[in-house]
Amino acid sequence: MMGGFILSGCMSGLDLFSDSGVDKTVHTGTVQNGNAERLTDEITVRNAVSSADLLRTGGNPIPWANSASGSAGVISRIAENRDRDGRPCRDFVTTKHSYQGIANFTGRTCLGNTGEWLLLAFDKQG
């Protein structure tokens, strides 16, 4: 009984349910922002699709990797065509290997008026 009384004096300032001593200004950067990861993956795929030399690749798969998100994949098909306004476009099929698993995507990128390729679609399949 005496031991319990002595120990209670040592622990009287310890309140496990109070946040008065918690520094709420500290934040961790180890958890990725899902939207930022998705956007950098989309930009990486867009760049791979738009810069591919279709004559040179001859329909062979094109690997891509995004060091910012840790995602990677393989573009298995690119079909070049023109939209209603006559702009060059490329429809594609790719895989995405990420910390969330493996998924298939289809997409479309077209050359914009400023000369930059625009990603118009990047849709997860099934």
- Residues 6 or more apart whose Cβ sits within 8 Å of residue 98: 37, 41, 69, 70, 71
Is the model's pLDDT at 29 over the cut of 90?
no
- Residues 6 or more apart whose Cβ sits within 8 Å of residue 69: 32, 37, 40, 41, 98
Local confidence band at 38 (pLDDT 50, 70, 90 cut-offs) = confident
Q: What is the pLDDT of residue 36?
A: 78
User: Token digits for 23?
Assistant: 């520094």
Report, as an integer, the average pLDDT of 37-44: 90
Q: What is the pLDDT of residues 9-19, one digit of tens each?
A: 555 555 555 55
CA proximity to 73, closest of 92, 56, 54, 88: 92
What would you report as the CA-atom Rg of the chain, rounded to the nearest whole angstrom? 26
Q: Would you kindly state where each structural domain of the chain is located, as residue ranges?
A: 58-126
